Amino acid sequence: MRNFTLVLGVLSLFFSGAVWAQSEGDGILNAVSYRPLKAGVKIAVEPYDNSVANLKLKGRFEAELRKAGYEISDSANIIMSFETRDEAGAWVQPGKRTYIELHNNPERRGVEPPKVLLNLYNSDRGGVLNTGRGTRQVTPRKYRLDTTIDNKTNGRRMWHAWTITNVGAADSSTLAASMIPMMVKNLGQTVRGQAFEIK
């Protein structure tokens, strides 16, 4: 019995940690380095589209790059490009509320009628005593920032990074601005599933 209790305790810690790592407000960074990136190199920052929000993020990228010792130049051969994406969450519709359900009788022999069930209570669809949950979200909306660095001289990709977080109550521009320092901190490195706090 003691061993069983210990196993349950370890499993509860594991699953609570897993839930915390995916909780609202935590970001995940992944990055792949294809070629070395020299410290202090000149970089041009270019959003994939020149929306007002992306131009603000461009300024944030440039400020963080300068703090990290990189030189910003629109004529540089090293190009950092970025785009942001909102990924919709998944929703389910459990179905219509039902009171009486008919099922084939798996044990029917001869002329036995199908089973008739009175649906008193159903958490999802509802029954006589409740209305059910209705449409509900099963996976949250996610926000993603993708960044690439390419060498314009030879057309080769040098680095690719992406960050993802649950959207929650924060607006998109706030989320992206929180992701940029983490990206610049790991510029030119390969990173796998590194969690960081969205501030």
Which tens digits make up the pLDDT trace of 68-82?
999 999 999 999 999
> Do residues 99 and 188 share a domain?
no
As for how many domains the chain has, the answer is 2
**Better-scored residue on pLDDT, 23 or 190:** 190
Give me the pLDDT at residue 159, please: 97
Mean predicted confidence (pLDDT) in 171-179? 78
Examine the domain organization and report whether 146 and 174 are in the same domain. yes
My answer on whether 62 and 99 are in the same domain is no
Q: Tell me, yes or no, whether 9 lies in a domain.
A: no
Statement to judge: residues 135 and 155 lie in one domain:
no
One domain for residues 103 and 83 = no
Whether 156 and 173 share a structural domain: yes
Of the candidates 71, 69, 49, 68, which has an alpha carbon nearest to the alpha carbon of residue 58? Answer: 49
Average pLDDT (179-197) is 93
pLDDT digits (tens, 9 = 90+) for 94-146: 556 665 665 565 555 555 666 666 666 666 666 666 666 655 545 567 889 99
DSSP SS3 for 58: helix
Report helix, strand or coil for 122. coil
Of 51, 65, 23, the C-alpha closest to 173 is 51
Tell whether 133 and 180 lie within a shared domain. Answer: no
> Could you tell me the residue range of the domain that residue 171 belongs to?
23-89+141-197
